[in-house]
Amino acid sequence: MPQERIKNIFVAGLDPFNLRLLHSVRHAERYAFHTLYERQQITYAKSFDMAALLDEGRRVLRAFDGPVDAIVGYWDFPSILMIPILRRELGLPGPSLESVLRCQHKYWSRLEQAKALPDQVPRFALVDPFEDDPAAPPLSFPFWLKPVTAHSSLLGFLVKDVSEYRHALAETRAGIHRFARPLDVLMEYADLPAEIAEAGAWKCIAEEIISAGRQCTLEGYVLNGEAEVYGIVDSIRGPNRSSLERYEYPSALPDPVKARLRASAAKVLGQIGLDDTPFNMEFFYHAADDSLALLEINARISKSHSPLFDKVEGVPHKEVMIDVALGRKPDYPARQGAFRYAAKFMPRLYGHSADEIVTHAPSKPEIQALEEQYPGTEIQLHIEEGMQLGEDHHYDEYSYELGAI
């Protein structure tokens, strides 16, 4: 019987930490992982020249001496929308660009979500941050204001009054180009309904606040039209109810609530038309009235959860990403982990400014000693002595993330 050839899998933004996790999947010896883009190019670059990035991706893929079997990624914008374009051009399986946009473009996503789950979607409104008169709020205070596409909660503002609304609009006008310009280019590749084409890339969405209750993230996949949720992760926010401080797996939510979450996920994914892709979907559960509220949908795995699955299941859920990209039904969860529970902690600083200097950070030997003292622990520092807080890219509008534990 002839031996199955090695599958060539190109990874957008491949980095050493995630390469180690990719090599931890079952049957990793059957895969060869190749870098499609450097991480910096598609994550924290100050600007994204989308035409040049797409051309570079095409060049790398066409120059490869061998078959390209899959293109995968676990980063947010813009690569989440670049990959469907490159897959389509090479005839590889994967979700349509339009279905991914129906997740990524927050206004379009809310329109589709409201059709499927009207009782689980907050009130929302489209906002033009460049209007002459920004004084009239689109919703009753307080509400969230966000660009229709961004990442890492950047330019996401909790708005409590007219003064804060004007401040949020001013900050958005100053920074939205970083996301809107590349989104403009990417949307040109899609077949858009008139309403979404008119909304475009330079708008914001105002959303009713739904952050009360217990937040969780469903990790799953859709293959051949069938949705499967294989894990639910609890998300715990900081004292500002905005910044995420901790993930815990598996979720402590009651089983009947988990069943309702899975049913809601399948329903909204069918409305959006997402297929042949992993996904993660964030909800809030309000125990007081037993209600659910949908926060957002992402057409990818959450890379932040991968080490948690690795510790509990014994295999990172990047295995799901690989299987689906190759058109194969995943056999997951693995149930081979060394631990019953796992958590990721993200220590944060609140109320500090970007120009403040880090005066001390633990050394590599100190970190290694901690990891050895507590088996299973992994520590990644985002800061180092002498740097300014703003030099690192792990922050939102209200806090600075110092590391991941």
pLDDT digits (tens, 9 = 90+) for 273-309: 999 999 999 999 999 999 999 999 999 999 999 999 9
**18: enclosing H helix or E strand:** helix 16-22
Alpha-carbon distance of 348 to 395, in angstroms, equals 9
Alpha-carbon distance of 7 to 4, in angstroms, equals 9
Domain ranges of the chain: 7-100, 123-208, 346-404
- Domain 7-100: give its CATH architecture: 3-Layer(aba) Sandwich (3.40)
In a 10 Å sphere around its CB, with 0-12 CB exposed, 13-18 middle and 19+ buried, how is residue 378 labelled?
Answer: middle
Alpha-carbon distance of 183 to 155, in angstroms, equals 15
* Cα dihedral 257, 158, 115, 223 sign: negative
Average pLDDT of the chain is 94
Alpha helices in 76-229 (DSSP H): 79-90, 97-104, 106-116, 162-175, 177-187, 194-199
CA 51 to chain centre: 23
* Fold classified for 123-208: Dna Ligase; domain 1 (3.30.1490)
Residue 175 has pLDDT above 60, yes or no: yes
Comparing 7-100 with 123-208, is the CATH topology the same? no
Q: Copy the structure tokens of residue 223.
A: 């293959």
Quick: pLDDT tens for 231-271.
Answer: 999 999 888 777 889 999 999 999 999 999 999 999 999 99
* Three-point CA angle 377, 383, 384, nearest 5°: 105
* Cα dihedral 27, 31, 33, 36 sign: negative
The helix, strand and coil proportions of the chain, stated in percent and rounded to the nearest 5, come to 35, 25, 40
